[in-house]
Amino acid sequence: MLKMQNPKDIRRLVTRTPVRTNSHAQKKYFSLMLVPSYSSGRTRSIRIPYLTFYVLFAVILITGGVMAGLHFRAENLRQTAEHAELALEEIQEAFIDLQETAEEERRQLIEDSINLRSTLAQERMRGEDEQLQQRATYLETLEILQFHVEELEEQIWQFETRRQQILDALSLNSHIPIVRTALNELHQSQLHSLVTLEDLRQYSQVQRERRTTTLVLLSTAGLTESTDAATYQFFDLIATAEFALEIMAELDEQLMTEVERLLPHISNHPTIRPVNGRFTSGFGWRRNPFGSGSEFHSGVDIAAPRGTAIVATGGGRVTFAGWNGAYGNQVVINHGNGIQTSYAHASSILVRVGQYVSRGEVIARVGSTGRSTGPHVHYEVLINGRAVNPVTFFLD
Ligand code: ZN
C-alpha cells in the first residue's frame, strides 16, 4: 500500500507493466510512475523489485484477509453481544416479573396466615368455651352426686348413732340376765355386719380422699377423662353407701326387735331406790339392833321422815299388801324373771294385791311398823325367793 502525501498533486499509478530496460536485472523490477498533474512538474518513478512487490502484495492480501476476518469476527461478537444483551434484558424483565409475582405471593401468604391465625384463635376460643361449659356441667353433676353421697353417709351415721344409743341403754341394763344374754347374742350377730361396715367405711374414706384430689385436678385442668373417672367414683361411692345403709337398716331392725322383746323386762326391772333417804343399814351379817349377838340382814334400811313416798323400784304386779308380823305393813311386787321386791315397816299401803304398778309409782308411805326402831324402809330384792344385795340393782 502506498500512501500519497498530497492527493491533489499526485496521482497514484501502479502498473504491472514491467519496466522495459535492456538489462536483465532491470527486468526484475516493477516501476511505479508518479506523474504530476501539471506540466512543469517532474515525473518520478519508483522501482520496486518483483520480490518486494509480491511480498508487499502478499502482505497487503494477508493484512486485508486478517482485517476482514477480524471485521467478521467483531461483527459476530457484536451480534452475539447484542443477543446477549437482549437475552439479559429478557432475563431482567423476567426477574422483575418474578420478583413482583413473588412479592404478590408473599403478601398473599401473609394475608392468608393472618386469616388462618385469627380463625384458629376463634376456633380455640370457641373450643375453650365449650370445654368450660362441659366442665361446669360435669362439676355440677359431681356436686349433686357428692351431695347424694353425703346424704347417704349422714343417714348411715344417724343409724349408727341410734344403734349405739340403744346398745348403751341396753348395756345399762346388762345386770338384767335376759338383757345380758340378748346383748351377747346381738353382739355376736351384729359383729359380722359391723366388720363389713368398717370395711366399707375405710373404702369410703379412701375414695373420698381420691375424690378430693380429683376435684382439685378438675378445677385446674378440666379434663373429660378425669371428670368421667370422678363420676364413676361417685357412683361407686353411692353404691357403697347404699349397701352400708342397707346393712345399717338391717342391724337397726334386729336391734328394735330385741328392744321390743326386752323392754318389759327392762321397765319391770327394779333399778331405782324405793325412797329418798339415808342408808342406815346394809345387806349381810350385822350386830343385832334389838339385843345381843348378830343376825343376817336380808335387805337395806333407808331412813326417811314418816309419810315420805315409797315408790316401786320397777314395774310389776303386787303380790302382797298388808300386815306381815316383824315386817309391819309390807308390799311385795313380782317383776317377772323370778325377781321380787319387798318394802316393809310402811305407815300406810296405797296399793292392792293384783294391781300392776310401774317404776316410780307411789305404793306406800314411810313408817315404823313391825320390828322397827324408827321411820325407815326395809327394802329387799329376791331372786327365785332368795334375798340378794339390793345395792347391785341401783343404777343411780
Ligand atoms: Zn332392815
Is pLDDT at 342 greater than 90 in this prediction? yes
More confident position, 108 or 223 = 108
pLDDT-derived band at 374, boundaries 50, 70, 90: very high
Is pLDDT at 7 greater than 60 in this prediction? no
So what's the pLDDT on residue 289? 74
CB of 242 within 8 A of CB of 156?
no
What is the arithmetic mean of pLDDT over 196-224?
70
So what's the pLDDT on residue 27? 61
So what's the pLDDT on residue 15? 47
Distance 278 CA to ligand 1 centre (A): 13
So what's the pLDDT on residue 367? 96
Distance 67 CA to ligand 1 centre (A): 173
So what's the pLDDT on residue 219? 62
Mean pLDDT of the chain: 84
pLDDT-derived band at 9, boundaries 50, 70, 90: low
Distance 338 CA to ligand 1 centre (A): 22
Cβ–Cβ contacts within 10 Å for residue 306, how many?
13
DSSP class of residue 10 equals B
Instruction: Give the list of residues 6+ apart from residue 197 with CB closer than 8 angstroms, or none.
Output: 244, 247, 248
Q: How far apart are CA 252 and CA 160, in angstroms?
A: 8
Q: How far apart are CA 121 and CA 112, in angstroms?
A: 14
Specify the residue for cell string 373404702.
203
pLDDT-derived band at 177, boundaries 50, 70, 90: confident
pLDDT-derived band at 22, boundaries 50, 70, 90: low
So what's the pLDDT on residue 222? 53
So what's the pLDDT on residue 46? 78
What is the arithmetic mean of pLDDT over 107-134?
88
What is the arithmetic mean of pLDDT over 115-139?
85
Is pLDDT at 225 greater than 60 in this prediction? no
So what's the pLDDT on residue 306? 96
So what's the pLDDT on residue 45? 80
Distance 299 CA to ligand 1 centre (A): 6
pLDDT digits (tens, 9 = 90+) for 255-266: 899 888 888 888
Q: Which of 2-11, 51-60, 84-93 has the highest mean pLDDT?
A: 84-93
pLDDT digits (tens, 9 = 90+) for 306-337: 999 999 999 999 999 999 999 999 999 999 98
Is pLDDT at 212 greater than 60 in this prediction? yes
pLDDT above 70 as % of the chain: 88
Lowest mean pLDDT among 92-101, 209-218, 305-314: 209-218
HSE, side-chain direction, 13 A CA sphere, residue 20: 1
Q: Which residues pair with 279 in a beta bridge?
A: 302
Backbone angles phi, psi at 9, to 5 degrees: -85, -35
Distance 260 CA to ligand 1 centre (A): 36
What ranges in 223-334 are assigned the alpha helix state H? Answer: 224-268
Cβ–Cβ contacts within 10 Å for residue 240, how many?
19
So what's the pLDDT on residue 220? 62
CB of 358 within 8 A of CB of 346?
no
Is pLDDT at 133 greater than 80 in this prediction? yes
Distance 181 CA to ligand 1 centre (A): 32
pLDDT-derived band at 224, boundaries 50, 70, 90: low
Distance 241 CA to ligand 1 centre (A): 58
So what's the pLDDT on residue 217? 64
Distance 322 CA to ligand 1 centre (A): 17
Is pLDDT at 16 greater than 60 in this prediction? no
Distance 395 CA to ligand 1 centre (A): 21
Please give the radius of gyration of the chain, using alpha carbons only, rounded to the nearest integer: 72
Distance 356 CA to ligand 1 centre (A): 25
Q: How far apart are CA 248 and CA 83, in angstroms?
A: 108
pLDDT-derived band at 4, boundaries 50, 70, 90: very low
If we measure between CA atoms, which residue out of 126, 182, 197, 122 comes closest to residue 337?
Answer: 182
Instruction: Give the list of residues 6+ apart from residue 254 with CB closer than 8 angstroms, or none.
Output: 186, 189, 190
